Amino acid sequence: MQNRLYILILLSFCFLQISGQQKDIVKNQGITSPLHQANIGKIIFTSKSIPLSELKESDFLNNYELTNKSDLFITVFMGNSMTNFMHFIAPDLSASELVQSGDFQFSLYVDNKLIYKSNLLPGAPYARIQDTATIFSKPFIDNKSTNGLWSQSFWNRFMNNGGDSALTEGKHLLKMEIRPYVNSGSALKIGEIIASGSLNLNVKRKPTIDISQIKLTDIKPYNGFLLSLDNYDKDLIKTLKGNIEEGVFKKISSLIVIKNGKLLIEEYFNGETRDSLHDPRSAGKSFSSTVTGIAESEGYLKDEDQTLKEFYKIKSFENYAPQKEDVSIKDLLTMSSVFDGNDDDYDSPGNEENMYPTADWVKFTLDLPVNLTRPKEEWHYFTAGVVLLGDILNKTVPGGLEKYADQKLFKPLGITKYQWQHTPRGVPNTAGGIRMNALDFAKYGQLYKNKGKWNGKQIIPEAWIDKTFTKYKSIPGRKEEFYGYLFWNKKYIVKDKAYETFYCAGNGGNKIYVFIDQPLVIVITATAYGASYAHSQEDKMMTDYILPAVLNVK
């Protein structure tokens, strides 16, 4: 009797201990609907975004034809919130510690073979969502939206890491599993599956391009550009146009090719026209380099060796260090200053995403600490430094940066319709985003190709073009890629021959290419903002279609 009582007490204690371990750490939103209750632990797929209040079981996909124009959304029904699921595998951490060290682990299988597994970086979605949400809907593929959401980023990584080759033409089974993970530093802990789902796919991603049905744009002269009579491979450009229209290359807005200073190719896509103003994001950074060169030639700046202490009282800002005072204009132009800012590092204090919500971007930059552990003068992508350069220009040139750039750069080029975004302090935003039509961006590129001359007038000193197109810094992690004065440098290989270019580049796939040994300026505008494929797809466009076509490489 006593033994049986002892066993019952022991079992009760174990039950209470296990129950205690499973106690929620945060309050979640609960089960939201009968549909939710019936599908706890399931991932369902839909072909469009459907508000949760309108979602029905008849919307759930069992079979789906996947083309380049298909959209694909997931809805995940969970029995608890993510923070609580993480708590069950790391009960010693607080709620805030959990969302800082853990997140979803997504696994995607094709035909029951694991293709890609990714631990989503902490911070996406936001902590308040991780604490409360027990159901969420997100896009994997959304051809209408230009937002680079974390779910879309995951799908793009899946495609780049085996998904593209696994999803061959024909029928496949796509399966997804979600687990919680926590990485506390000492160990990576993975929880059990909290949701899973599958979808039968019929993949049709290789469209048949009938070039006999594709017509190239009948182009007309444009202010500053006569028409080129040079031959090029029109069939290859038609094939490219067909692939863009079929969604093989996504969210491309325009393609302009200038050869020997004349307009050779002009094509628009996805509803854009010759008059459309495109947002090139960080491609606009290069314009501040241009104005710096003009201002220096006119004596408003001495040279690129001028340092911040000549423009600001550095000791009045936070995290003072003498190294800040000696940051030069050249350091800002080559993105190699000592500031602890790196847009490629989410945890960097100077990451641009930390700057945008603040009321004073210049103060944000000058308040940053220095980074003395990074190799001295190593290149690091630092948007805030270009904002600082814009502020220096704005306070130095007569009438301010906007008026000066209009008089000294845009009007001489005949560029009259453009929009320059501004910082919270009303200064032109040199972080990027200056809007122009594609042909005006081509004028800017051709100005550099002309060694700074336009219509016989020297707008930018030739010496500044030479400085700009100098390989000052190698880009870490990229083979044979370099950085000049807010211009990038690389080579494209076509049929075993290298073609070198300096170029402006911006999020979404926006490029202004100035080729060094070829009479070419090429502009591509696009709206694939935040998409991992944005730049890689344009590399393929350049090597497989554009360069072979205009250089007649067989």
The secondary structure of 63-95 as a DSSP string is EEEE-TT--EEEEEE-SS-HHHHHHHH-TTS-H
User: Closest Cα partner for 253 from 289, 221, 281?
Assistant: 281
Res 184 pLDDT > 90: no
- Identify whether the C-beta of residue 245 lies closer than 8 Å to the C-beta of residue 215: no
Q: How many CB atoms lie within 10 A of CB 325?
A: 15
What pLDDT sits at residue 155? 94
Q: Helix, strand or coil for residue 453? A: strand
Pairing of strands 170-183, 188-190: antiparallel
Rg (CA), the chain: 27
Average pLDDT of the segment spanning 543-549: 98
- Return the pLDDT at 144: 84
Tokens matching residue 72:
């694909």
Mean pLDDT value across residues 369-383: 96
- Architecture of the domain spanning 301-396: Up-down Bundle (1.20)
More confident residue, 413 or 12: 413
Instruction: Quote the CA–CA distance of 554 and 551 in Å, as a whole number.
Output: 9
Token pair, residue 456, equals: 């016989």
End-to-end CA distance of the chain: 93
Mean pLDDT lowest among 2-6, 281-285, 318-322, 369-373: 2-6
Neighbours of 246 (CB within 10 A): 16
The answer, yes or no, to whether residue 70 has pLDDT greater than 70, is yes
Structure tokens, 220: 């007309």
Predicted pLDDT of residue 20: 39
- Enumerate the β-bridge partners of residue 135: 77
Domain ranges of the chain: 24-203, 211-282+437-550, 301-396
Single-letter code of the amino acid located at 441: F
For 490-540, write each residue's pLDDT tens digit.
Answer: 999 999 999 999 999 999 999 999 999 999 999 999 999 988 889 999 999
- pLDDT, residue 552, reads 84
| Angle 337-343-345 from CA coordinates, rounded to 5° | 105
Among 314, 345, 342, 346, which residue's Cα sits nearest to residue 327? 314
Please provide the size of the chain in residues: 554
Model pLDDT for residues 141-182, shown as the tens digit of each residue: 998 876 668 899 899 999 999 999 999 999 999 999 999 999
Mean pLDDT of 46-50: 97
Second-level CATH architecture of 211-282+437-550? 3-Layer(aba) Sandwich (3.40)
Please work out, in degrees rounded to the nearest 5, the angle formed at the alpha carbon of residue 321 by the alpha carbons of 317 and 324: 80
Dist. CA 516–CA 449, nearest whole Å: 8
- The first and second tokens of residue 107, run together, are 């696994």
DSSP state letter for 276: P
For 226, phi then psi, to 5°, come to -80, 170
Lowest mean pLDDT among 60-74, 176-190, 203-217, 234-248: 176-190
According to DSSP, the β-strands at 457-458 and 102-110 are unpaired
d(CA 480, CA 426): 38
Q: Which helix (H) or strand (E) holds 427?
A: none
Is the fold of 211-282+437-550 the same as that of 301-396? no
Residues in CB range of 403: below 8 A, 6 or more apart: none
Q: How far is CA 186 from CA 90, 93, 101, 121, 181, in A?
A: 12, 13, 11, 17, 13
Enumerate residues 6+ apart whose C-beta is below 8 A from 225.
258, 261, 262, 263, 439, 442, 443, 446
What is the rounded average pLDDT of the residues 213-230? 97
Which residue type sits at 374? R
The one-letter amino acid at 493: I
- Residue pointed to by tokens 């991932």: 43
SS3 177: strand
DSSP symbol at 132:
H
